[in-house]
Amino acid sequence: MKRFISQTLIAAAIAGCMVATGNAQDDPLEIGVLLPSPIADVGWSHALNEGINAVKKKYGDEVKVNTIENIQEGPDADRIINKMVGDGNDFLLLGSFGFMNAGLRLAQRNPDLSFIHASGYKTADNFSPFTAKYYEGAYLMGMAAAELTTTKKLGVVGAFAIPELISTINGFALGARSIDPDITVDVVWINSWFDPAKAQDAAKALIAGGSDVLFSNAQDTPSVVTVAEEAGAYVFNLNSSMKEYAPTRYLGVVKTDWAPFFVASVDAHIAGNFEGKNEWLGMTDDVVVVEDWSSDISADMAAQIEATQADIVSGARHVYDGPLTNQAGEEMVPAGERLEDGAILGIDWHVQGVNTPLPQ
Amino acid sequence: MVITVLSMLERRPQPSRAMLILAPLIAVVLSVLVSSVLLLILKKPLGTTLYAFFIEPFESFYSISEIFLKFGPLLLIAQALAVGFRAKVWNIGAEGQMIIGAIAASAVPVYFVDNSSFWLLPAMMVLGALGGMFWAGIAAFLKTRFNANEILVTLMLSSVALQLLYFLLLGPWKDPMGFNFPQTVMFQDAALFEPLFSGVRLNSSIFIPLLFTVGIWLLMEKTFGGFKLVVGGLAPQAAAYAGFSAKRSVWISLLIAGFAAGLAGMSEVAGPIGQLQRSVTSGYGYAGIIVAYLGGLNPIGIVFAAFFLSVLHIGGDIALVTASLPISAVHVFQGLLLIFYLSVHTFVNYRFKSPRTAEQSHRT
């Protein structure tokens, strides 16, 4: 009964302490996971769930994972997060940008809990946003696309024009144009993470417009991938492999393997040294992984891609190395310089070669 | 089959009070029975689930406050829609009117970021209401001027409203410090309703729907204006003969709905959300339609219907966590309840023919 009363401001803090001390004994650590879409076989929530499974595997009976999937962002989600905290979850994984403000409020009220939050930008002592450097993988995909395109036009179906996605499209364009500077990229924003019908329409429109390699940017279903296979266009996507939906035309996947980061975060929470900070993870951290490459890519190109990948991992090379120009042809990063992390995290411009203007 | 069932029914001379009270209880029992089967298949504990749905919402002060947080906008929108439905004006676009209300109200904190004037909140209320009325007014104009179907117009205007929202959030109203995410700045305290108690999200905006309900009840039950409104929609020609205007019915119905939906949108951004973002309505615009009908289009009935639906919703959220029910199962359970309620509600106005009356109807 205590937990029900606990949800008022002061009592919540007290309950948090009680549960936290309880953990020192035999109770398993309760991990609350809130996901914005169904876990399904592929996609964003699937990838997050795989990461959590690694935590379960490591800790076994010492953790109890309470997963709630397919919850839309908004005031109702706030209530559910509140309830999860009230019910004794001490470590929370919030799987979507829109859970940020509610999560942060609860984190500040419950200093003994730890939160990791996907795609956000606000931090607190016990609240870490995490994002993948997808652009690193997209750059390599761009190189492969440059070899396989005959129309020299690439197409992107994008969810929302937020920095995470913009920086990924830039990476794709930069990779392609590093091989062939005549290549251009068209983008259709569908303003949804999860709208198969709209995503398919967008993919068809891009193909009709001449694109012969598509990038399904943060779409949670194989919608774009299946359309590409039918139309004979190459395609790649993020988070988890969708090769079985495009057996002949699958370019590859920019996979996210959240397991190392999730396990490390839970380790830190149990050890009592969880530290809230912006977790921006890429190939170096083994979080961004490219695989399932198309067999149509030549051995030469494969070698070139591998070399570039090694350079990115070693830090010798960065996707956002200058010189970089924006769509209007203005120089944004001079030669010899590198766009700093903060500017990439908040990027609101496309590089030259991306045809479609950003929605303003 | 349907026809045979229908032919077994006859209209009661008067609506049954007993059935009115029994209907929700029977609906609960029937849906519990059906969903027990579902829960057994899902291997979820029946007791915990039912407890989560019907008891837990009342167990903590926080949950009760959340019920009322949900109750407010549902009540406000349903009351206004019911006015239109009684006058046969089918406004199903309260969702869009709510979005425009939220947008119009948000203009104040977006353009006066650091202002902490007392007048901020009243200005937002006025703008929110006007925004909703403007959006509904478009449908009223097209209906009265060109006889455009208000069902289609209001529904499509909801899509337009959503696009307008996206446009503003991705463009001119985007939070400059928000890393290009589609949302405005967080509103300053002066642009937010005061929470009624510390630690809860329920705020003083709850008084708006309550006052509005009293107003609607007076209008519909106690004034000649309410009567004219209903007649104007129900029987346009009779109304014209009596000197009541059907056009006026359309205008008034839609403007009232726009007013209420706009205020509801305003209360959301100035309440639990605290900023303008992609999801501002929580589906209240559509849920309001269900509440209006569940409440029998009656101002008092709607109060109970809005409360019932709010409890169901909060219970559903709790069941997600405590009974780890998948959200689709929650939706099925909520859907079952509504369907059974509406079915059972038929018996408020109808009853099975007694053998004698059945015989009589055969002879004639």
3-state helix, strand, coil in chain A (%, to 5): 45, 20, 35
Q: Cα separation of B129 and B97, whole Å?
A: 9
Strand partners, A252: A236
pLDDT of residue A11: 42
Tell me the residue type at A173: A
Torsion of CA A88, A94, A100, A104, to 10 degrees: 30
| Residues A124, A221 share a domain | no
Assess if residue A301 is contained within a domain: yes
Residue A17 has pLDDT above 90, yes or no: no
How far does chain A reach from its first CA to its final CA, in angstroms? 50
Q: Cα separation of B280 and A174, whole Å?
A: 37
Assess if residue A262 is contained within a domain: no
Overall average pLDDT of the A286-310 stretch = 96
Assess if residue A250 is contained within a domain: yes
How many pairs of residues across A and B have Cβ atoms under 8 Å apart? 107
Interface test with A, best of B44, B64, B159, B180 (most A CBs within 10 A): B180
Overall average pLDDT of the A175-186 stretch = 97
**Omega before B57 cis (within 30°)?**
no
**Residue contact A121–B59, C-beta within 8 A:** no
∠B274-B275-B277 over CA atoms, to 5°? Answer: 130
pLDDT of residue B364: 45
Which carries the bigger pLDDT value, residue A267 or residue B359?
Answer: A267
pLDDT of residue B175: 87
Assess if residue B26 is contained within a domain: no
Of the candidates A177, A128, A156, the one whose C-alpha atom is nearest the C-alpha of residue A228 is: A156
**Residue contact A160–B199, C-beta within 8 A:** no
Strand partners, A238: A254
- Pull the structure tokens for residue A199: 């995503």
Could you tell me if B182 lies within 8 Å of chain A, comparing CB atoms? yes
Chain B residues closer than 8 Å to A92 by CB: none
Q: Which region among A130-144, A334-348, B237-251, B259-273 has the lowest average model confidence (pLDDT)?
A: B237-251
How many residues does this entry show for chain B? 364
pLDDT band at A360 (very low <50, low <70, confident <90, very high): low
Element (H, E) at A204: helix A196-208
Of the candidates B45, B68, B46, B41, the one whose C-alpha atom is nearest the C-alpha of residue B57 is: B68
Residue B358 has pLDDT above 60, yes or no: no
Overall average pLDDT of the A90-97 stretch = 94
Domain of residue B96 covers 45-324
Chain A residues closer than 8 Å to B313 by CB: 76
Assess if residue B332 is contained within a domain: no
Interface test with B, best of A6, A7, A72 (most B CBs within 10 A): A7
**Residue contact A78–B201, C-beta within 8 A:** yes
Q: Cα separation of B169 and A309, whole Å?
A: 36
Overall average pLDDT of the A77-81 stretch = 90
pLDDT of residue B23: 82
Chain A residues closer than 8 Å to B199 by CB: 7-10, 12
CATH classification at residue A170: 3.40.50.2300
Assess if residue B185 is contained within a domain: yes
Element (H, E) at A19: helix A9-23
Give A23→chain B minimum CA distance, Å: 20
- Mean confidence (pLDDT) of chain A: 90
Strand partners, B213: none
Could you tell me if A98 lies within 8 Å of chain B, comparing CB atoms? yes
Give A306→chain B minimum CA distance, Å: 32
Residue A20 has pLDDT above 90, yes or no: no
Overall average pLDDT of the A80-91 stretch = 91
Of the partner residues A9, A101, A160, the one whose CB lies closest to the CB of residue B198 = A9
Answer yes or no: are the C-beta atoms of A126 and A65 closer than 8 Å.
no
pLDDT band at A237 (very low <50, low <70, confident <90, very high): very high
pLDDT of residue A352: 96
pLDDT of residue B227: 78
For B279-338, the pLDDT digits (tens) are 899 889 999 998 998 888 889 989 998 998 899 889 988 888 888 888 888 888 878 888
Residue A22 has pLDDT above 60, yes or no: no
Assess if residue A112 is contained within a domain: yes
pLDDT of residue B337: 81
Could you tell me if A9 lies within 8 Å of chain B, comparing CB atoms? yes
Which carries the bigger pLDDT value, residue B201 or residue B131?
Answer: B131
pLDDT of residue B132: 97
Answer yes or no: are the C-beta atoms of A225 and A235 closer than 8 Å.
yes
Q: Return the residue of B nearest to A34 by Cα.
A: B321
**Residue contact A75–B282, C-beta within 8 A:** yes
Answer yes or no: are the C-beta atoms of A32 and A89 closer than 8 Å.
yes
Overall average pLDDT of the A229-236 stretch = 96
The fraction of chain A above a pLDDT of 90, given in percent, is 75
Assess if residue A306 is contained within a domain: yes
Residue A3 has pLDDT above 60, yes or no: no
Q: What are phi and psi of A180, to 5 degrees?
A: -140, 105
Q: Return the residue of A nearest to B61 by Cα.
A: A5
Residue B73 has pLDDT above 90, yes or no: yes
| Residues A222, A117 share a domain | no
Neighbours of A288 (CB within 10 A): 24
Tell me the residue type at A204: K
| Residues A157, A229 share a domain | yes
Could you tell me if B33 lies within 8 Å of chain A, comparing CB atoms? no
Of the candidates B264, B263, B346, the one whose C-alpha atom is nearest the C-alpha of residue B16 is: B346
Q: Cα separation of A67 and A132, whole Å?
A: 22
pLDDT band at A172 (very low <50, low <70, confident <90, very high): very high
Answer yes or no: are the C-beta atoms of B140 and B254 closer than 8 Å.
yes
Assess if residue A357 is contained within a domain: no
| Residues A168, A37 share a domain | no
Answer yes or no: are the C-beta atoms of B328 and B7 closer than 8 Å.
no
pLDDT band at B221 (very low <50, low <70, confident <90, very high): confident
Q: Cα separation of A164 and A291, whole Å?
A: 21
Domain of residue A310 covers 134-256+288-345
**Residue contact A70–B171, C-beta within 8 A:** no
For the question of an ipTM over 0.85, the answer is no
Could you tell me if A232 lies within 8 Å of chain B, comparing CB atoms? no
Overall average pLDDT of the B132-158 stretch = 96
Look up the pTM and report it.
0.80
Assess if residue A140 is contained within a domain: yes
Question: Of the candidates A97, A132, A167, which is a domain's last residue?
Answer: A132
- Mean confidence (pLDDT) of chain B: 88
Interface test with A, best of B56, B167, B179, B280 (most A CBs within 10 A): B179
| Residues A139, A85 share a domain | no
Of the partner residues B199, B313, B317, the one whose CB lies closest to the CB of residue A9 = B199
| Residues A326, A239 share a domain | yes
Which residue is it, tokens 């129309």? A151
What's the total number of domains in chain A?
2
Could you tell me if B119 lies within 8 Å of chain A, comparing CB atoms? no
Task: Look at phi and psi of residue B277 and say left if phi exceeds 0, alpha if psi is from -120 to 50, else beta.
Answer: beta
What's the total number of domains in chain B?
1
Burial B110-132 (b: 16+ CB within 10 A, else e): beeeeeeeeebbebbbbbbbbbb
Answer yes or no: are the C-beta atoms of B77 and B284 closer than 8 Å.
yes
pLDDT of residue B342: 82
Overall average pLDDT of the B208-214 stretch = 96
Give residue B52's Cα distance to chain centre: 23
**Residue contact B180–A8, C-beta within 8 A:** no
Q: Cα separation of B75 and B264, whole Å?
A: 9
| DSSP for residue A351 | B
Answer yes or no: are the C-beta atoms of A115 and A130 closer than 8 Å.
no
Q: What are phi and psi of A322, to 5 degrees?
A: -70, 165
| Residues A317, A196 share a domain | yes
Tell me the residue type at A246: A
Alpha helices (runs of H) in chain B, residue ranges in sequence order: 2-7, 17-42, 46-50, 61-86, 94-111, 120-146, 150-170, 207-217, 224-234, 236-241, 246-268, 284-294, 299-322, 327-349, 355-363
Could you tell me if B60 lies within 8 Å of chain A, comparing CB atoms? yes
| Residues A331, A206 share a domain | yes
| Residues A142, A9 share a domain | no
Of the candidates B177, B164, B173, B205, the one whose C-alpha atom is nearest the C-alpha of residue B108 is: B173
Answer yes or no: are the C-beta atoms of A223 and A216 closer than 8 Å.
yes
Q: Return the residue of B nearest to A344 by Cα.
A: B179
Q: Cα separation of B67 and B60, whole Å?
A: 11
Tell me the residue type at A291: E
Which residue is it, tokens 């912006």? A278
Answer yes or no: are the C-beta atoms of B349 and B75 closer than 8 Å.
no
Task: Look at phi and psi of residue B88 and say left if phi exceeds 0, alpha if psi is from -120 to 50, else beta.
Answer: left
Residue B92 has pLDDT above 80, yes or no: yes
Q: Which region among A258-262, A284-288, B51-55 has the lowest average model confidence (pLDDT)?
A: B51-55
The fraction of chain B above a pLDDT of 70, given in percent, is 95
Question: Of the candidates A76, A111, A132, which is a domain's last residue?
Answer: A132
- Pull the structure tokens for residue A2: 């205590």
Neighbours of A330 (CB within 10 A): 10
DSSP codes of every residue in A232-243: T-EEEEEES--G
Burial (CB < 10 A; 0-12, 13-18, 19+), residue B275, is: buried
Which residue is it, tokens 């689709």? B328
- Pull the structure tokens for residue A81: 């997060």
Could you tell me if A345 lies within 8 Å of chain B, comparing CB atoms? yes
Q: Cα separation of B20 and B194, whole Å?
A: 37
Considering A308-322, B4-18, B191-205, the range whose residues carry the highest mean pLDDT is A308-322
Give B161→chain A minimum CA distance, Å: 14
Interface of B with A in 228-247 (CB under 8 A): none
Torsion of CA B87, B227, B342, B350, to 10 degrees: -120
CATH classification at residue B318: 1.10.3470
Residue A125 has pLDDT above 70, yes or no: yes
pLDDT band at A14 (very low <50, low <70, confident <90, very high): very low
| Residues A57, A150 share a domain | no
Sheet holding A153-158, edge to edge: A184-189, A153-158, A213-217, A234-239, A250-256, A288-291
For B16-51, the pLDDT digits (tens) are 888 877 887 888 889 889 988 988 888 888 888 888
3-class DSSP string for A98-153: HHHHHHHHHHHHCCCCEEEEECCCCCECCEEEEEECHHHHHHHHHHHHHHHCCCCE
Overall average pLDDT of the A149-165 stretch = 93
- Pull the structure tokens for residue B288: 């309001």
| Residues A143, A68 share a domain | no
Answer yes or no: are the C-beta atoms of A64 and A30 closer than 8 Å.
yes
Give B33→chain A minimum CA distance, Å: 25
Q: Which region among A67-71, A285-289, B132-136 has the lowest average model confidence (pLDDT)?
A: A67-71
Assess if residue B331 is contained within a domain: no
| Residues A44, A142 share a domain | no
Question: Of the candidates A132, A163, A184, which is a domain's last residue?
Answer: A132
Give A346→chain B minimum CA distance, Å: 5
For B165-185, the pLDDT digits (tens) are 999 998 899 888 777 778 899
**Residue contact B198–A191, C-beta within 8 A:** no
Of the partner residues A9, A12, A348, the one whose CB lies closest to the CB of residue B180 = A348
Chain A residues closer than 8 Å to B71 by CB: none
Could you tell me if A34 lies within 8 Å of chain B, comparing CB atoms? no
Chain A residues closer than 8 Å to B176 by CB: none
**Residue contact A80–B317, C-beta within 8 A:** yes
Answer yes or no: are the C-beta atoms of A94 and A116 closer than 8 Å.
yes
**Residue contact B59–A4, C-beta within 8 A:** yes
